[in-house]
Structure 1
């Protein structure tokens, strides 16, 4: 990523970082959601969506199968509850790659 001057890699709790709304065109979340506490998940995802520009996209790479995965239907329900709509899905074995678009 060093050669790309328009890409930022950020690590931390999105709720505590003070990132302004409508900051990002694209956000990638890789193999993280299944680690987040269920009781905080919707709040975390809503914070992510708030930093996304209108018509921005969130790309999610996630395990879908037990014991560590999150069921696909649950993933869709979570993201649809934050104001995103599913636009692309690719699944292979126990992993899914999802594209959600801000409405």
Structure 2
């Protein structure tokens, strides 16, 4: 009976600690939500799971240009020959290889080695020497400080497990006049055929980016399904 009592006491202590951690850890809260969500929340938004490297075929789907109008996105970015650009959550490099011929240098950042390997193979085939592969972490983009002119994040910010830490890391990498191009499927538009957890409204994005020290310069509304929000430092 004594061993059972000790076991129950320890079990109670464990679940008590777990409940306290899940309730609030300072910046993030934990509670049940969407069945496809992580159960981790930031500023009223549930964070989505990161799409695994198994989704490379979806990233490279032939119809992506039509659905997202990447050509128009690149025009929105007004890429200059001396621009240093970072693609955060670069995936298989869909945007990287479209930007590299236009820019001075492109950093392809991803946390999955398999994604970086896919970029490496295509980079070697294309003979492009201005693409740098960076293995990021859940809390850092691992980029050199004050070197980036433009940051591109396409449908990835909503999957950051640590959005505060990631934007802080990105901010350190930006030059003073640097810009963040935050591309997210429009939550305001119910006709966009994407799970709600993988969408973001302008209002939510502005709230989170303001908290990180950025302000909305403009939201270029010429993409079929996505916001093209441009943020600069406050």
- TM value normalised by structure 2: 0.39
| Distance apart, 1:97 and its partner CA | 0.4
Backbone CA RMSD of aligned residues: 2.1
Q: Which has the larger radius of gyration?
A: 2
Instruction: Give the alignment of 1:51-62 within 5 angstroms.
Output: 51-62=173-184
Equivalent of 1:10 in 78, 89, 108 = 108
- Identify the range of structure 1 (88-97 vs 50-59) with the bigger mean alpha-carbon deviation: 88-97
Where in structure 2 are the equivalents of 1:1-103 lying within 5 Å? 1-4=99-102, 6-12=104-110, 13=136, 15=140, 17=142, 19-37=143-161, 40-65=162-187, 66-91=196-221, 94-103=225-234
Give the number of the structure with larger relative contact order, counting CA–CA contacts within 8 Å between residues 6 or more apart. Answer: 1
Q: Contact 1:34 / 1:63 at 8 angstroms: preserved in 2?
A: no
The number of aligned residues is 100
| 1:5 shift after superposition | 5.7
Instruction: Quote the Cα distance in structure 2 between the aligned partners of 1:74 and 1:29.
Output: 16
TM-score of the superposition, structure 1-length normalised? 0.80
Cα distance, 1:24 vs. partner?
0.7
Gaps of 5+ in 2: 1-98, 111-135, 188-195
Shift of 1:43: 1.1
Q: Please state whether the residue corresponding to 1:22 is helix, strand or coil.
A: coil
Unaligned runs of 5+ in 1: none
